[in-house]
Structure 1
Amino acid sequence: MTDPRRIAASIASLYPEIARHGIAVSVADDPVSGDWLVTMRHKDHALSTHLGKDDADACIRGVQCASLGVQIGRFVENYCLSLGECPT
């Protein structure tokens, strides 16, 4: 079984805007869906999204996860850029 900390580290390395904007990322197994639940947080804002097992394996191999990248972009745009709440 894949380690959620390893997935989070891979996500952070693939998407440097996470660290640049001070966003915390956590990954947990979602037994209901069988996917991973990726949660991004900054201050009082949070966004959770599902990451399929195959996509998680691709992230670990260093292949960008398109659907996750879209969610990260939305989080950065909504809470960091438009509200100005994240460091740049």
Structure 2
Amino acid sequence: MHDKKELCDKITALYPDIGACGMNVDVSWDEQEKMWVVHLEKDVHKLDHYLATTDADYCMDDKQCVSLGLEIAQLRKNIEGKQF
């Protein structure tokens, strides 16, 4: 399993416009759910995305980051005022 710094660094490398680790992006492990939680924040908008370990592994291995990418796209739309 990867650690939170590795995962956070990967997210900011893939999506550099969302911000920096520890400022706009943070990652934590939810022991109860046994999942990673990606905390995204931009301006007044906040979003927490639960990322299964298998999805995190795929993302870290450059295979796919689909679910996380969709959440980041939603956050961008919220910031731009284009909510569904």
User: TM over 0.5, yes or no?
Assistant: yes
Contact 1:38 1:50 in 2 (8 A): yes
Q: Is there any run of 5+ residues in structure 2 with no aligned partner, and where?
A: none
* Deviating 4+ runs (over 4 angstroms): none
Cα drift, residue 34 of structure 1:
0.3
Normalised by the length of structure 2, the TM-score is: 0.81
Per-residue CA distance 1:29-57 (angstroms, 9 max, x = gap): 00111000001012332100100001111
Report what 2:58 is aligned to: 58
Aligned length: 79
Cα distance in 2, alignment partners of residues 67 and 37 from structure 1: 12
Map 1:32-51 onto structure 2 (within 5 A).
Answer: 32-51=32-51
- Structure 1 portions without partners, runs of 5+: 84-88
* Structure 1 position 73, deviation (Å): 0.1
> Percent identity between the aligned chains?
33
Contact 1:14–1:64, Cα closer than 8 Å, also in 2 = no
Task: Give the deviation of 1:64 after TM superposition.
Answer: 2.9
Q: When the two structures are superposed, what TM-score results if normalisation uses the length of structure 1?
A: 0.78
